[in-house]
Structure 1
Amino acid sequence: MRNDDRDEQRIFDRTSRTPVLPDGRGVRIGILTSGGDAQGMNAAVRAVVRSALSVGAEVYAIYEGYQGMIDGGDGIRKFGWDDVGSILNRGGTVIGTFRSKEMREREGRLKAVRHLLHRGIDRLVVIGGDGSLTGLNLLRNEWSGLVAELVERGDLAEEVAQEHPSLMIAGLVGSIDNDLVGSDMTIGTDTALHRIVDAIDDLASTAASHQRSFVVEVMGRHCGYLALMSAVAGGADYVLVPEQPPAPGWEEEMCAELRKGRQSGRRDSIVIIAEGATDREGRPIKAEYVRQVLADRLDEDARVTILGHVQRGGKPSAYDRWASTWLGYNAVHEVLTATPESEGMVVGTRSNRSERLSLVKAVADTQEVPKLIEAGRYRDAMRMRGHSFTEMDAIFSELADPVRTSPEKDYRRIGVMHAGGPAPGMNTAMRALVRLGISRGHTMIGIHNGFVGLAAGDLAEITWSQVEGLTGEGGAMLGTRREVPATQDLYAISRALEKNEIDALVVIGGYSAYDGVHKMTTERDRYPAFRIPTVCVPASIDNNLPGSELSIGADTALNVIVDAMDKIKESGIASKRCFVVETMGKNCGYLAMMSGIAAGAERIYLNEDGISLDDLVTDVHWLRESFAKGRRLFLAVRNENASKNYTTEFLAQMMEEESHGMYDVRTAVLGHMQQGGSPSPFDRLLATRLSYRALNLVDDELAADQDGAWFMGIRDGSTYAGAMETMNSLVDPQHRRPRQQWWLDLRTVVRTVSDELRS
């Protein structure tokens, strides 16, 4: 998962402020992409170029990876602001990539250094995998020796050598495998998951039509992240990953799991296999072999789909755009502040924060995992992948088994419901709760239509088969309502809980859900039926809930918004046009901010900042000057409650009035489309993880005969449970949003990369 709590005891760096870039005048930075391409590389290149230019540094794009340094000439080109325009939505890498064999030889590195220094470049940002970063560190370590040899050969002037005694570096990891140890997510992984999960969804529908099995092979030579996460997000039945080779006899275990799924009502079976999966003897497990096993032992039609390089292609997801932009900005800070004594660093992510990692250690740890697998130390290999990886493996095992029960356990009746506005991923959370609950022997009771349905006694048991296929379904299967129970409703709710013998309650929803549960908690003295373990699971596209940095549904909404903005921008390509796009979010600007970064907006208006007349005057002057200098397209994003009076229509009319015919202006209010659609892979994984932790908390409360009221969340990368009594201390009640919002730190990044005239 993106928030990989790799070690829940680790002390995280709490310095979350985005660093201000230092003066870069007189500095020349090279940027290259190397190794396999990954979606989001272009966003990182764009951020590096514009961040460097914004502080006066010169930037040179090195084409075709390290080979461009060796070839010189047009392989190293000076880049300006517009050279990286309109590339955020493009897959691959616009400056090319190449696996250079010549760079592995000293003679090749001598050529590379000579061509760099002839242009005065002594700082490099490299986007690539562990092999590319290993090469970068080698070049840094050899730099002084290579420079001295060039001087001795007469290929470099002594004064040039003295001006550039060291190479300052920063690495960014571009790898869809997500295999860098120490970073939660690498550039391209989220988009690759989108490709895989979309394919699984499509295959599942045709498989169900024919009661057929599919074996899907995904990338991952040494890392099973894509396989495991897509198996959970896609609702697959069995998964094979490199880190945990199956024990002898795995074929029969796999077939037994699939038989149980069919007996419980499944019409299709999906097996996910990572390309690097092996058995415990080190023999590769091929997709065709798995297919043959299924055909022979289950006597049913089975097909193979090898997704291949389609996983690397296409438009990058919203996350791979905004996160890569943030990483590129911080990489520039790294090379501008580095000294000859500095250790080479990789800029990665942890807990929704940019994180500096030792390049040498990160690469060494990453390369250690295959060695652990080869040595049969599978537990250590899994541990190196992080706590979330091992936890998701356990969750998958429990989700896929419909009949795991323990006769010693005291089973209970657990109510589950939606409340608040609809959010993609609500159904995913419901499916996880129901299946996990049933696997533990509980009876799961569905409550229809939120608190209104609970007061009306609209409750019924949910079975395993009823949540079949819900993983990728949008909406809310039980219905959801925004109404918070009034005082006169509490008695009816109390009676419904008593009558249906509800032992615990899990509510999946937004601010209204939290308000409703909080009200029930404060009324426990009057209504003893409310004295049951109660847990809220955050689900709101607004991402405005206490105790959680991310809410189920927000990532899907971001992808919907960014896809719409891409189309909106394309519609204006033949004219000079301004677009003002309004997003949802109420008083929380998360959707506006993150979609604006991902879509390349020049201006973002947030409720948190407000809109002043002075701001608008400045923006209009800037806009007119920008178009006068050749701009053809402008995008502004406005959070729906950014200002009561300066509405989206007002902003558009003002810009149109001041254009003097230089450009025209259009508005787009995206509306409720942001709440719909199939949940993204991240929202499916987040929903599953939070539901798992919520049920664990309920089980712990029941086992201890406790009746706490809680809300689940993600904080500092780890799953967090907060007492409902503390809710009011964490929120701004007037604006109904958290008092602290981590993503606001990205305002500095937006200002830096949005437009040359403003930076």
Structure 2
Amino acid sequence: MKRIGILTSGGDAPGMNAALRAVVRTGLNRGLEIYAIYEGYAGMVEGGDRIKPMRWSDVGGILHLGGTIIGSARCKEFRERAGRLRATRNLLLHEIEGLVVIGGDGSLSGADVLRREWEGLVQELVDSGQVSKKSAGRSKSLAVVGIIGSIDNDMFGSDITTGADTALHRIIEATDAISSTAASHQRSFVVEVMGRHCGYLALMSAMASGADWVLIPESPPDVEDWESKMCEALKKGRQMGRRDSMVIVAEGARDKNGKPITSEHVKKALEERLGEDTRITVLGHVQRGGSPSAFDRNLSTLLGAEAVEAITTMDPAGQPLVIGMQGNKITRTPLNVALEKTRAVADAVAAKNFEEALALRGNSFSRSFDIVRTLVRASPHPPAPDQRRLRLAILHGGGPAPGMNTAARAAVRIGIDRGHIILGVRNAFRGLINNEIAELNWMDVNGWATRGGSELGTNRTIPKGRDLYAIARTLEEHQIDGILMIGGWSGYQSVLELSSQRNNYPAFDIPMVCLPATINNNLLGTELSVGADTALNSIISAVDKIKNSAVASQRAFIVEVMGYYCGYLALMGALATGAERVYLHEEGVAMRHLVQDVEDFRHAFQHGKRLGLVIRNEMANEVYTTNFMRMLFEEEGGDLFDVRQAILGHMQQGGAPSPFDRIFATRLAVNCVDYLEEQIARQESAGVCIGQVQGELKFTNLDEAPRQMDYDHSRPRKQWWMDLRPIARSLASQGPIVHGEGHRG
């Protein structure tokens, strides 16, 4: 295969440009010719200058742009055979042998139809003399690979689709702002979100925002007079102390009879039954627009690179594929399977078979719906008369990470709703030492879902010696049955220390579970940690601004990011910002690397480059510091470019948690409560940590720490994201230049 066409079709989605960039640069690196088809299928039908070859530089500086630079349009002509015939002729004239299509189910369905009709369309063009037999012979079949670009997240084949995470960011930015004004005036707000016939955006934004009610198409209210049930719950919430009420409505929401539930209908019900001042906010297309999130940039980049790999290795006459991410792994799914399962959900909703529709969305969706139904309650279910009420302690440990409060809120409310007594420990393990512990009630954690930092307080204290005796006394005094620690590596070490001292202190012979919360993403037993996504978004926000300032003159920036000895933030930040160079402690930095990189920068700036970006992990090298690198690049750059440094510092630990971190923290916390209940019921007392591994939540015994962790550098021995290093290197924006052995570009 020599030539590939790429198009974006249907509704635009943030991240499409990142996918386009990855396809173009990965393809060029592999020696392919990449043609952009402008304006989607309309451009394919029109042909001419709507189909153009892409150069390396054509996709420079587009990672941070929303929408799609090659345009998108809905095309009626392509739905007819005559239109597809014209499209086939244009592809043959440009000798395009494969298509990468970025769009939703309608766009990918169109590509599938074109592929199935290809042989007949080509023969018709030959018979009518519109193309030669030679041209037809070069493209006997059409290879098709799809990347799902849709904010709705409504298509099978990927756990999350390109654009959905950014749409959640837009929704959460709005709901966080609305909550402030609503609480000031004790108002009710109805927020309508997009999603077509899928309730993903509504459900996840309800979980992430701490909304008080949510309405989605897959699971309509289970009673006829749902308005009364909703209003009664909101009224009770006010009586419990809430100063505002927020109802999130999916645009495709229906009642059990299939009648649409509109935001106007909800507003009227609230005003008439509660007598409250109610406002409607229809977020509309702001959910589609704007700069893509860090997650969408990296997801789209990985999908684009995999799409090129897939299309060049697949049988051109074989089934088209959809490239997606399931868990934390890039996957390939036959397009016909993805389309069939996607349509099955819509058919189930249309047939009012809502249980099937909810099940078809997957276990994670159904589980999330059950969690949200508990979290939005105005008050918990009363404990059963004969129930054993467990006494569970919650504390933080390690440095602050956005999402710690979200996890604590979820654990507290889920635990209380199940009849347990939840005790909050102030100031991490110092609080256990000093007996700073008190019961938390339902409303104590109201509003915690959206807050950064740690309301319980956190520090890096690791108990030793006499501290252990004091902690044992505290646990005995409060009759603690189990512990949930939310935090980072020093928190894990503290729990490991308590577990190892069980023979000396019987009070420690209780189940203890660690929930990973650190921006460094350096913990055992998990591929992701709560807080890392928020930190990445802080990094790309800062770097986007830096790049805007730098492009005004010929300038290079050395940006230092946190992570201690773990390079996750540096590498993923480089991937999301398009940095030319990234320096990691895992790889080391040698002077020969720096000399070669300086020469590359000089060459690039001599040939018209205006902006250079280097990202450095804070501990990449203790000698070659950020300031050293700045001075080296500055000196060697001469008059070609000047150099500035930016040390982002603790801004990466602050701010409100991202939607991803809020949702992830909530899911982990609920599973931790499940685990503690199960362990106590079995009279077992393991010390474990929860994590996400290949898309599945699993528990790892802390005894595995010596085998899995590099203690000297506080990071796992195996770091999955280092496998992405070649992709980051190949997409570096100075072009496909090959250097000598050992180069770290």
Answer yes or no: same fold by TM over 0.5.
yes
> Does residue 246 of structure 2 align to residue 270 of structure 1?
yes
> Does residue 385 of structure 2 align to residue 410 of structure 1?
no
Identity of aligned residues (%): 52
Which residue of 85, 95, 102 maps to 1:110? Answer: 85
Which residue of 417, 420, 423 maps to 2:398? Answer: 420
Which residue of 555, 572, 575 maps to 1:594? Answer: 572
Task: Indicate the residue corresponding to 2:741 in structure 1.
Answer: none
Task: Indicate the residue corresponding to 1:309 in structure 2.
Answer: 285
Q: Is the 8 A contact 1:712 1:721 kept in 2?
A: yes
Task: Indicate the residue corresponding to 2:107 in structure 1.
Answer: 132
Task: Indicate the residue corresponding to 1:96 in structure 2.
Answer: 71
Task: Indicate the residue corresponding to 1:123 in structure 2.
Answer: 98
Taking the aligned partners of 1:387 and 1:202, their CA distance within structure 2 comes to: 31
Q: Is the 8 A contact 2:8 2:71 kept in 1?
A: yes
Which residue of 506, 516, 522 maps to 2:500? Answer: 522
Q: Deviations over 1:427-474 (max 9, x none)?
A: 111111111121122222111111112101111222222211111111
Q: Deviations over 1:131-172 (max 9, x none)?
A: 000000111111111111111111101111111111111100
> Does residue 273 of structure 2 align to residue 294 of structure 1?
no
One-letter amino acid of the structure 2 residue matched with residue 734 of structure 1: D
Which residue of 665, 671, 694 maps to 1:693? Answer: 671
Q: Deviations over 1:636-673 (max 9, x none)?
A: 11111111211111112111221132111111110000
Taking the aligned partners of 1:529 and 1:281, their CA distance within structure 2 comes to: 55
Task: Indicate the residue corresponding to 2:612 in structure 1.
Answer: 634
Please, which runs of 5 or more residues in structure 2 have no aligned partner?
Answer: 739-745
> Does residue 396 of structure 2 align to residue 396 of structure 1?
no
> Does residue 732 of structure 2 align to residue 732 of structure 1?
no
Taking the aligned partners of 1:387 and 1:328, their CA distance within structure 2 comes to: 27
One-letter amino acid of the structure 1 residue matched with residue 88 of structure 2: V
Q: Deviations over 1:406-430 (max 9, x none)?
A: 3132112211111100000011111
Task: Indicate the residue corresponding to 1:758 in structure 2.
Answer: 737
Task: Indicate the residue corresponding to 2:652 in structure 1.
Answer: 674
Taking the aligned partners of 1:366 and 1:606, their CA distance within structure 2 comes to: 41
Taking the aligned partners of 1:691 and 1:723, their CA distance within structure 2 comes to: 17
Task: Indicate the residue corresponding to 1:717 in structure 2.
Answer: 695
Taking the aligned partners of 2:39 and 2:736, their CA distance within structure 1 comes to: 30
Taking the aligned partners of 1:330 and 1:676, their CA distance within structure 2 comes to: 34
Which residue of 229, 238, 248 maps to 2:213? Answer: 238
Task: Indicate the residue corresponding to 2:175 in structure 1.
Answer: 200
Which residue of 313, 320, 323 maps to 1:344? Answer: 320
The 5 A counterparts of 1:160-559 are 160-247=135-222, 248-401=224-377, 402-407=379-384, 408-559=386-537
Shift of 1:325: 0.6
Task: Indicate the residue corresponding to 1:39 in structure 2.
Answer: 14
366-375 or 534-543, larger mean C-alpha shift = 366-375
Q: Is the 8 A contact 2:400 2:653 kept in 1?
A: yes
One-letter amino acid of the structure 1 residue matched with residue 654 of structure 2: G
Q: Is the 8 A contact 1:626 1:757 kept in 2?
A: no
One-letter amino acid of the structure 2 residue matched with residue 756 of structure 1: G
Taking the aligned partners of 2:220 and 2:209, their CA distance within structure 1 comes to: 21
Give the TM-score normalised by structure 1.
0.95
Task: Indicate the residue corresponding to 1:578 in structure 2.
Answer: 556
Taking the aligned partners of 2:662 and 2:26, their CA distance within structure 1 comes to: 34
One-letter amino acid of the structure 2 residue matched with residue 602 of structure 1: E
Taking the aligned partners of 1:208 and 1:703, their CA distance within structure 2 comes to: 41
Shift of 1:608: 1.3
Task: Indicate the residue corresponding to 2:3 in structure 1.
Answer: 28
Shift of 1:323: 1.0
Q: Deviations over 1:587-613 (max 9, x none)?
A: 111100111111110111111111122
After TM superposition, where is structure 1 displaced by more than 4 Å over at least 4 residues in a row?
Answer: none
Secondary structure at the aligned position of 2:691 is classed as strand
Taking the aligned partners of 2:659 and 2:726, their CA distance within structure 1 comes to: 29
Give the TM-score normalised by structure 2.
0.97
Secondary structure at the aligned position of 1:461 is classed as strand
Secondary structure at the aligned position of 1:689 is classed as helix
Which residue of 653, 671, 684 maps to 2:662? Answer: 684
Task: Indicate the residue corresponding to 2:743 in structure 1.
Answer: none
Taking the aligned partners of 1:509 and 1:161, their CA distance within structure 2 comes to: 61
Q: Is the 8 A contact 1:123 1:168 kept in 2?
A: yes
Secondary structure at the aligned position of 1:186 is classed as coil
Change (3 A) 1:175 1:698: same
Taking the aligned partners of 1:574 and 1:288, their CA distance within structure 2 comes to: 48
Shift of 1:757: 4.2
One-letter amino acid of the structure 2 residue matched with residue 253 of structure 1: K
Shift of 1:381: 1.1
Q: Is the 8 A contact 1:580 1:666 kept in 2?
A: yes
Q: Deviations over 1:84-134 (max 9, x none)?
A: 111111111111100101001111111111111111112111100000000
> Does residue 61 of structure 2 align to residue 86 of structure 1?
yes
Q: Deviations over 1:53-92 (max 9, x none)?
A: 1122111111110000111112111111111111111111
One-letter amino acid of the structure 1 residue matched with residue 609 of structure 2: R
Task: Indicate the residue corresponding to 2:725 in structure 1.
Answer: 747
Taking the aligned partners of 1:362 and 1:165, their CA distance within structure 2 comes to: 25
One-letter amino acid of the structure 2 residue matched with residue 312 of structure 1: R
Shift of 1:676: 0.1
Q: Is the 8 A contact 2:582 2:614 kept in 1?
A: yes
Shift of 1:380: 1.7
Shift of 1:258: 1.3
Shift of 1:727: 2.3
Please, which runs of 5 or more residues in structure 1 have no aligned partner?
Answer: 1-23
Task: Indicate the residue corresponding to 2:742 in structure 1.
Answer: none
Shift of 1:486: 1.6
Q: Is the 8 A contact 1:622 1:757 kept in 2?
A: no
Q: Is the 8 A contact 1:191 1:317 kept in 2?
A: yes
One-letter amino acid of the structure 2 residue matched with residue 277 of structure 1: A
Taking the aligned partners of 1:403 and 1:621, their CA distance within structure 2 comes to: 64
Task: Indicate the residue corresponding to 1:154 in structure 2.
Answer: 129
Task: Indicate the residue corresponding to 2:50 in structure 1.
Answer: 75
Q: Deviations over 1:555-593 (max 9, x none)?
A: 000000000000011111111111110110011111001
One-letter amino acid of the structure 2 residue matched with residue 274 of structure 1: A
Shift of 1:704: 2.2
Q: Deviations over 1:359-415 (max 9, x none)?
A: 111011111111011222222211211111111111111112222133132112211
One-letter amino acid of the structure 2 residue matched with residue 205 of structure 1: S
Taking the aligned partners of 2:316 and 2:29, their CA distance within structure 1 comes to: 24
Taking the aligned partners of 1:279 and 1:379, their CA distance within structure 2 comes to: 14
Q: Deviations over 1:238-284 (max 9, x none)?
A: 11111112222222221222123222211111111110011121111
